[in-house]
Amino acid sequence: MELLKKRILEDGVVLNGNILKVDSFLNHQMDVALFNEFGKEFKRRFSDTKVTKILTIEASGIGIATIVAQHFDNVPVVFAKKMDDSKLGNNVYQSYVHSFTKNKDYFVRVSKDFINEGDQILIIDDFLANGCAAKGLIDIVRQANANPIGVGIVIEKGFQPGREVIESLDVKVESLAIIDRFDNNQVYFK
Amino acid sequence: MELLKKRILEDGVVLNGNILKVDSFLNHQMDVALFNEFGKEFKRRFSDTKVTKILTIEASGIGIATIVAQHFDNVPVVFAKKMDDSKLGNNVYQSYVHSFTKNKDYFVRVSKDFINEGDQILIIDDFLANGCAAKGLIDIVRQANANPIGVGIVIEKGFQPGREVIESLDVKVESLAIIDRFDNNQVYFK
């Protein structure tokens, strides 16, 4: 998606040679008009499959997923929780996820009330790197006997194994921008 | 807002006599069409003041705020972070907040890059109870020499002091539904 690549080149900052900071438009300050362009593009790429629900993960997936849902007939959006939430109780699907960014393990949890057997679930997230979060979400969808119809990612780090991990689970991945490499603090796309 | 009150009566669940669970449409599963109705209503209630940015707090404020921003000319949405984020660095405004729900204290943080002097900031959140989070956000806005033009809340617990706290800071509060009391696990509005 050219508009997004242009924006990454203009406003993204590469830290320490391998971290891409895009918090001016994606995951701290959010550009809602741009998110609507993501929505149009995801709709185009997943137009062949019925979507009954969008699943994302707190926190930075939430804004993107709610805007994207408008392009899928306002289907409900569910966000998986990383933190303990006493209100969730024991009525949850959960999966154990490793975060390489934070170098720790955590549970992602979704109430059993909100993913139903037969649901056609599109998973949306801001970044794909090692694929751990997406893998956890796919696991949760399958625990519910629902169908993960695809994973829609805004920015994929193409030099990390996330895509391979998801595709090995037989789930389609669509990323709006795929980074080939960082070189001298510059971003190069595939 | 009658549509919201009706929805709370239909789908809200009162736990332990004083906790309102609305996670089927507000803060775990999200009803995007309903959020757009919130946007229209907030726009009506804050139509007298220019808004240049919307500020919210992770996680459950984010979905509401992004949808609401569409009704304010797609102004940027910034979400304050509750968790440590190494990418934020030291370039932050922060405020110390007490959570009665979780009975702990935490910092809320916003990068200094995303609130500017003179910004006209509308604060959006899902719940208002004791007003601690909103107070922290107002503090951050004022640290940046920006102007908190108001606080827009989806559900206010009218029997708790949040409104008083915010109004004592000279900031306008608008809530779409104000709960007067819980009685026998039933919700009564003001």
Q: Is the pLDDT of residue A102 over 90?
A: no
Distance CA B122, CA B54 (A): 5
* pTM beyond 0.90: yes
Q: Is the pLDDT of residue B86 over 70?
A: no
Chain A positions touching B24 (Cβ under 8 A) are 113-114
Is A8 part of any domain?
no
Q: Is the pLDDT of residue A56 over 90?
A: yes
At B133, which CATH number?
3.40.50.2020
User: pLDDT band for position A184 (50/70/90)?
Assistant: very high
Residue of chain B with shortest Cα separation from A82: B59
A74–B114: do the CB atoms touch at under 8 Å? no
A31–B58: do the CB atoms touch at under 8 Å? no
Calculate the CA A139 to chain-centre distance.
14
Structural domains counted in chain B? 1
Q: Which of A15, A19, A78 sits opposite B29 (nearest CB)?
A: A78
Is A113 part of any domain?
yes
CB B153 within 8 A of CB B49: no
User: pLDDT band for position B89 (50/70/90)?
Assistant: confident
Residue of chain A with shortest Cα separation from B14: A87
Q: Is the pLDDT of residue A117 over 80?
A: yes
User: pLDDT band for position A84 (50/70/90)?
Assistant: low
Supply the pLDDT for residue B18: 85
What's the whole-number mean pLDDT along residues A72-97? Answer: 89
Q: What is the mean pLDDT of chain B?
A: 95
B77–A24: do the CB atoms touch at under 8 Å? no
Strand pairing category for A186-189 and B120-128: unpaired
Q: How far is B49 from chain A, CA to nearest CA, in Å?
A: 21
Of A154-163, A173-182, B99-108, B118-127, least confident by mean pLDDT is B99-108
Q: What is the mean pLDDT of chain A?
A: 95
CB B105 within 8 A of CB B98: yes
Distance CA B188, CA A143 (A): 38
Classify A181 as helix, strand or coil: strand
Supply the pLDDT for residue B62: 98
What's the whole-number mean pLDDT along residues A110-115? Answer: 97
Structural tokens at position B59: 């996680």
Q: Is the pLDDT of residue B26 over 70?
A: yes
CB B177 within 8 A of CB B189: yes
Q: Which of A35, A62, A114 sits opposite B59 (nearest CB)?
A: A62
Residue numbers of the domain that contains B11: 2-189
User: pLDDT band for position B84 (50/70/90)?
Assistant: low
Q: Is the pLDDT of residue A83 over 80?
A: no
Residues of chain A in Cβ contact (below 8 Å) with chain B: 15, 19, 21, 23-24, 28-33, 35, 58-59, 62-63, 65-67, 69-70, 74-79, 81, 87-88, 110-111, 113-114
Q: Omega before B65 cis (within 30°)?
A: no
Supply the pLDDT for residue A86: 66
User: pLDDT band for position A85 (50/70/90)?
Assistant: low
Is A100 part of any domain?
yes
Quote the ipTM score: 0.96
Beginning with the edge strand found earlier in the chain, give each strand of the sheet holding A186-189 in spatial order: A186-189, A173-183, A147-157, A120-128, A53-57, A77-80, B29-30
B28–A70: do the CB atoms touch at under 8 Å? no
